[in-house]
Amino acid sequence: MSLKESGKYKSLDFLKFEEVLNENPENPSITILAKDENDEKAVILLRKKPFQSNVCQEMLSECDLDLDLKNDRYHTFDGTIAAKYQPLRYSMTYPASELHIAKARSAPTEIWIETKEMFERLHQPFISSQLHSLQWVYNILDKNREKCNEVDRIVVEDPDPKTGFLVVPDLKWDGKDTKQLNLCVLINRRDIPTVRHLNSDHLDLLENILDKSSKEIAAKYKIPEKQLRMYFHYPPSHYHLHVHITSTFFGQGCNTERAILLTDVIENIKMKSSFYAERTMSLPLRVGHKLHNIFENE
């Protein structure tokens, strides 16, 4: 019996483990490649779900502990608690194509140093080749309800064609837990691909985003403005200028080599209009990404 026939499964025992594609000890997660009897492939991501705060007494009482370290009042144990208190999340792509497998496979990120000259010669032509893939952004900006339901999730809006923007929840956020708040500001203008393209002509736009969106979001979600982190990615995942807004409780996606604070961008441009046009910048690239190949092969 295969998953495709039934859809109701208690186990994946029809799959044979082949290879660990990826492991992240921090969150923790593991990605496994497996095969069925017909050699069809499956990519399976397992993640440990958060602790359940309603079973704390059970986690104290029904644990099986093994003392590892003890120093005065400080003790460390390895332990286990019953499986029912430790749910997992299984995400399976099956049948998986070679592309699914390649995307799931662990790849290091390398921090390249991009001069102005490298940007103009290597990165700008790549940006120009990617502009066709921005239709999904324009669907939101045009409020094309036929093509996208994100239109109904807009949380802040400023229609000004020069300095205006829309704010929508990031798809990864459930829209509820404000400690994991994750929003995206899409600017109305369609002529600014990245931070590299910003100069003092854009200060009104940047200051409008900083002031208006942070104020309205703080009010809407009832959190202090100082607990919002507003930043650009460089390189961004898509080349229509956007600002990420996340809670300071939530650290994913804001690594310093890729994330640049909106307040820093404003400061730098005020100091020197051409700051980002001339700047030598860090450029983190995942090995195997198209842009990495361009830099690697030049």
Q: Looking at the annotation, which residues are catalytic?
A: 242
Nearer to a copy of itself, 45 or 134 (CB): 45
Q: What is the DSSP letter of 211?
A: I
- Annotated ligand binding at 233? The verdict is yes
Distances (CA, A) of 225 to 121, 184, 220, 246, 267: 40, 16, 11, 11, 19
Q: Closer to a copy of itself at the Cβ: 108 or 159?
A: 108
Question: What is the DSSP secondary structure assignment for residue 253, as one 8-state letter?
Answer: T
Q: Could you tell me the smallest distance in angstroms from the CB atom of residue 237 to a copy of itself?
A: 16
The position carrying tokens 């100082």 is 226
Write out the H or E segment, with its range, that includes residue 68: strand 64-71
Contact between 243 and 230 (Cβ < 8 Å):
yes
CA angle 212, 234, 293 (to 5 degrees): 155
Could you say which DSSP state residue 194 is in? S
The CA distance from 243 to 226, in Å, is 16
State the DSSP H helix or E strand holding residue 29, giving kind and residue range, or none if neither: strand 29-35
- Which of helix, strand or coil describes residue 9? coil
228 close to 245: Cβ distance less than 8 angstroms: yes
Q: Is 239 annotated as a binding residue?
A: yes
112 is in an annotated binding site: no
Q: Least Å distance between CB 148 and a copy of itself?
A: 16
Nearer to a copy of itself, 234 or 239 (CB): 234
237 is in an annotated binding site: yes
Which tokens is 34 given? 């497996």
At 190, the amino acid letter reads R
Residue 289 marked ligand-binding: no
Taking the least distance from each CB to a copy of itself, the nearer of 82 and 219 is 82
Minimum CB distance to a copy of itself, residue 127 (Å): 22
- In whole angstroms, give the CA distance from residue 196 to residue 201: 13
CA 84: distance to chain centroid?
Answer: 30
Q: Is 146 annotated as a binding residue?
A: yes
Q: How near is the Cβ of 159 to a copy of itself at its closest, in Å?
A: 28
**Does 197 belong to an annotated binding site?**
no
Closest approach of Cβ 106 to a copy of itself, in Å? Answer: 8
Annotated binding site: 136, 146, 170, 172, 233-244
Annotated binding site for substrate: 136, 146, 170, 172, 233-244
